[in-house]
């Protein structure tokens, strides 16, 4: 049975676990399932996965360094803007920005943890243990996290069914 996911995001193990990443995406393309193997064909690379050892749903590591730097740059930018307005308006602008800034970091953390990736552990041709990460991005632009999670869960079930059962 041949199955295709036409719009798939791909990430390397190094990128998924990096504390300094800005985005999780290494490449995007399509993922084809056939006869116990996966074939990812992306814009930058292609990957053939034959010996699947495990299939898991994971949430990427939170990139604290990138989030901290992003917040620092945002605060510097806000400080620069506040230095350009009259002192009468500063209090009102700060009162408007505090709720926004206090919700921004929790939202950024939530956005990182809410997106689940399919982690496929496999052995390559040199018998080295490797990991590849996939996310179904077919409805990413049109809908929210809910549909993306449903699509990724469907991909997870399909890939899990390819893995030979233990025992």
Q: What is the pLDDT of residue 144?
A: 53
Closest listed residue to residue 158, CA positions, set 136, 132, 131: 136
**3-60+115-162 domain in CATH 3.40.640.10?**
no
Lowest mean pLDDT among 35-39, 106-110, 121-125: 106-110
| Angle between helices 64-83 and 87-114 in degrees, nearest 10 | 160
Task: Confirm if 136 and 152 have CB atoms less than 8 A apart.
Answer: yes
According to DSSP, the residues that pair with 54 across neighbouring strands are: 121
Q: Which of 48-52, 102-106, 117-121, 162-166 has the lowest mean pLDDT?
A: 162-166
What would the mean pLDDT of 138-146 be, rounded to a whole number? Answer: 55
Q: Check: CB of residue 155 under 8 Å from CB of residue 31.
A: yes
The number of angstroms, rounded, from the C-alpha of 72 to the middle of its chain's C-alpha atoms is 23
């Amino acid at each position: 049975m041949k199955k295709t996911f036409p719009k798939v995001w791909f990430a390397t193990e190094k990128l998924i676990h990096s504390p300094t990443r800005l985005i999780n995406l290494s490449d995007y393309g399509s993922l084809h399932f056939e006869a116990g193997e996966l074939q990812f064909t992306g814009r930058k690379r292609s990957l053939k996965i034959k010996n699947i050892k495990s299939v898991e749903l994971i949430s990427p590591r939170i990139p604290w360094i990138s989030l901290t730097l992003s917040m620092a740059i945002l605060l510097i930018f806000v400080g620069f803007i506040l230095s350009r307005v009259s002192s009468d308006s500063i209090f009102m602008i700060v009162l408007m920005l505090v709720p926004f800034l206090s919700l921004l970091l929790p939202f950024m953390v939530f956005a990182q943890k809410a997106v689940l990736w399919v982690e496929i552990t496999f052995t390559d041709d040199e018998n080295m243990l490797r990991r590849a990460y996939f996310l179904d991005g077919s409805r990413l632009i049109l809908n929210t996290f809910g549909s993306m999670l449903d699509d990724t869960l469907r991909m997870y079930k399909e890939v899990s069914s390819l893995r030979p059962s233990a025992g």
